[in-house]
Structure 1
């Protein structure tokens, strides 16, 4: 990274924001909720669009953002560009962003991913069982998991992942 640039300004620049300044979070920003201390992290066992199996063991040592979305969800479509840019800013070795598609066919998820130029892994939850285990009732929902494998928070609703609040959440996962 260039010595005079911060991760935040790089993300803003990458997203084409004026002057490298962060835009304030949208008025409809998602609700950030701490993960309940007594609640364990549910298991993840999902296939991606290429048929590769994903679980949390495979991601050891990295912070994880597990984003539940669907192509019919307008807020999901709105937040996806800033969400996927996080990997470019933080690096794949530190942060894994997984986009878990809710109850749509592989063909629909693939078409959306291609049209949105998604670079993050797209996982499938065809029956909605994974979303149910994570108590997802609002789309999008993003679960933040620290490098130690412990869940830290859940964001219910759309988040501008280039905003200072969101970057602070990610920074805390990496600490």
Structure 2
């Protein structure tokens, strides 16, 4: 009889855990749709992230400049492929009122620095350690690029790998007058 009671208690606990898990999943799915998704025309959410040299980058400090925000990871082949293109176009546009920020999603400083060194990247690379910026910008898949006008408005949201020509067109579109 003692074995049967233990088995009954164990089964009841497992059933309770499953019911709680299912209830939480349903709740999370129901409330997720209520969070606002960033759209073209919205004000770009402000943030402060630190680059690999220890410099702070606050989006609102770039008001008056176009900002090219690229969300990426070292493990992402399309991200890796577009980085040299970004670097090349950054060299062309950096003195024309354009800022480029590569926002890494929560990887270690060592991983990111190794990647930056391998490709000789000249633009600021910051790490979103808490994923709060990724969430504020509704980034679900990498790479993702968000263009911010000199007035601080989101002008384009693009997911997927970019060509060098496309990056140039994007930078041209946010260049201050």
Q: For residue 71 of structure 2, what is the aligned residue in structure 1?
A: 68
1:59 to 1:36, Cα distance in 2 relative to 1, 3 A: closer
Alpha-carbon shift at residue 93 of structure 1 (Å): 4.4
Q: 2:151 aligns with which of 124, 145, 148?
A: 148
Q: Does 1:126 align with 2:129?
A: yes
Higher helix share: 2
Q: 2:40 aligns with which of 29, 36, 41?
A: 36
After superposing on structure 2, the runs of 4+ consecutive aligned residues of structure 1 that deviate more than 6 Å are: none
Q: CA RMSD in A?
A: 1.7
Q: Give the Cα separation in 1 of the matches to 2:126 and 2:168.
A: 23
Task: With the length of structure 2 as denominator, give the TM-score of the two structures.
Answer: 0.72
| Contact 1:70–1:139 under 8 Å retained in 2 | yes
- Give ranges in structure 2 of 5+ residues lacking alignment: 1-37
| Contact 2:71–2:104 under 8 Å retained in 1 | yes
Q: For residue 90 of structure 2, what is the aligned residue in structure 1?
A: 87
Q: Does 1:97 align with 2:122?
A: no
| Contact 2:62–2:150 under 8 Å retained in 1 | no
Q: Give the Cα separation in 1 of the matches to 2:171 and 2:96.
A: 14
Q: Give the Cα separation in 2 of the matches to 1:93 and 1:55.
A: 19
Q: For residue 60 of structure 2, what is the aligned residue in structure 1?
A: 57
Q: Give the Cα separation in 2 of the matches to 1:111 and 1:166.
A: 24
Q: Secondary structure at the match of 1:113?
A: helix
Q: For residue 174 of structure 2, what is the aligned residue in structure 1?
A: 173
Task: With the length of structure 1 as denominator, give the TM-score of the two structures.
Answer: 0.73
Alpha-carbon shift at residue 167 of structure 1 (Å): 2.8
